[in-house]
A = this chain, B = another copy of it.
């Protein structure tokens, strides 16, 4: 299908990376595949990207000989493509005469770091999230894909809402949603779709089972889609039949918390403040211990990326960040409720990308 979206271009990204690398080392070798994709357009499953002041070299294996050249050219990158059986040895060669090289300490394995030590005398500098920090701010072409991914899930949920009745199993619901996502133009789900009903809804990261929905159940549906590499993330909590008073109280509290969190999003605010806003409403309602996870995270090429939105986050929100706001309350005896939107930070506040109506009591 024709996606009818502005083309993804990587122009200027390597120079922005060079500017931040300069504070740490003479050059960087990027090993995170999503970061390599962001820098060069390459979508393969095996690569290193060497970025020096003068040039950049994408090192991959024979399976990607043709694809790598095609994708790098399509993204308007001037990165050189090299095919190698021993990528670290090839990378050392491409680094030339640098004295220090930044390596991504959160991505490189300990074994790879040891191989680097054996392969070269160059001083290895552990760095954290240099590309991921840059990736957090989305450009127009990236936002268009995330927004499309979100819209596809909105439509999928609308198409399949009729299945939210007693008797449908969690797995049937998840399957139906994922089929609708693909029909709607997504590559597939952005992550394993969560459909968690009744007691299962009290598990924040449940997988769909063959449990049929029952009257009185809460059903947590956490679904995103994948469009041209970019992901959306949304959660809605539905009730089967007429929910009881205790269920309504939980859902109202989560709704209030989530709305307050979204209302607080604006450039310049600390991400942990969004967590505080959401958490304080849930704590004041007496459910503090039942909100057992962070409030949100960045979304883009990865389903979890920067900025983190939790109590220990040091991030400051910026225009172009795409984050989730997803407080929840999980009570084993009652079930769980989570409400989540993906929003893009704008110059003045934020704009929700996920728009499916939120069920109320």
Residues of chain A touching chain B, judged by Cβ–Cβ distance below 8 Å, are: 1-2, 43-45, 61-67, 103, 105-114, 126, 128, 171, 175, 178-179, 182-183, 187-188, 192, 202-207, 210, 292-293, 332
Contacts A175-B182, A210-B2 given; indicate if A64 touches B111 (C-beta within 8 A).
no
CA distance A175 to B179 in the complex (A): 8
CB-defined contacts of A206 to chain B, threshold 8 Å: 67
CA distance A203 to B108 in the complex (A): 27
- Which of A2, A43, A126, A332 is most buried by chain B, counting CB atoms within 10 A of its CB? A126
Contacts A66-B203, A203-B66, A205-B63 given; indicate if A109 touches B114 (C-beta within 8 A).
no
CB-defined contacts of A1 to chain B, threshold 8 Å: 171, 210
User: Chain B nearest CB: distance from A283 CB in Å?
Assistant: 15
CB-defined contacts of A106 to chain B, threshold 8 Å: 109-111
CB-defined contacts of A64 to chain B, threshold 8 Å: 203, 205
Whether B188 lies near A63 (C-beta < 8 A) is: no
CA distance A210 to B205 in the complex (A): 33
Residue of B nearest to A67 (CB): B203
CB-defined contacts of A332 to chain B, threshold 8 Å: 66
CB-defined contacts of A61 to chain B, threshold 8 Å: 293
User: Chain B nearest CB: distance from A233 CB in Å?
Assistant: 15
User: Chain B nearest CB: distance from A101 CB in Å?
Assistant: 13
5 tightest Cβ-Cβ pairs between the two chains A and B: A62-B292, A105-B111, A110-B113, A63-B204, A105-B110
CB-defined contacts of A2 to chain B, threshold 8 Å: 210
CB-defined contacts of A108 to chain B, threshold 8 Å: 109-110
CA distance A126 to B44 in the complex (A): 28
Quick one: which of B67, B105, B205, B207 contacts A109, CB cutoff 8 A? B105
CB-defined contacts of A114 to chain B, threshold 8 Å: 105, 126
Whether A188 lies near B179 (C-beta < 8 A) is: no
CB-defined contacts of A112 to chain B, threshold 8 Å: 110
Whether A62 lies near B111 (C-beta < 8 A) is: no
Whether A205 lies near B45 (C-beta < 8 A) is: yes
CA distance A126 to B111 in the complex (A): 8
CA distance A179 to B177 in the complex (A): 11
Q: List 19 A-B contacts (CB under 8 A).
A: A45-B205, A62-B293, A63-B205, A64-B205, A65-B292, A103-B110, A105-B109, A105-B110, A105-B111, A105-B114, A106-B110, A107-B109, A108-B109, A108-B110, A109-B109, A109-B110, A111-B126, A171-B182, A188-B192
- Which of A61, A202, A205 is most buried by chain B, counting CB atoms within 10 A of its CB? A205
Residue of B nearest to A46 (CB): B205
CA distance A68 to B64 in the complex (A): 39
Whether B182 lies near A44 (C-beta < 8 A) is: no
CB-defined contacts of A179 to chain B, threshold 8 Å: 175, 179
A63-B203, A187-B207 given; name 15 further pairs at CB < 8 Å: A1-B171, A44-B205, A62-B293, A63-B293, A105-B109, A106-B110, A107-B109, A108-B109, A108-B110, A109-B109, A110-B126, A111-B126, A178-B182, A179-B179, A188-B192
CA distance A262 to B61 in the complex (A): 25
CB-defined contacts of A182 to chain B, threshold 8 Å: 171, 175, 178
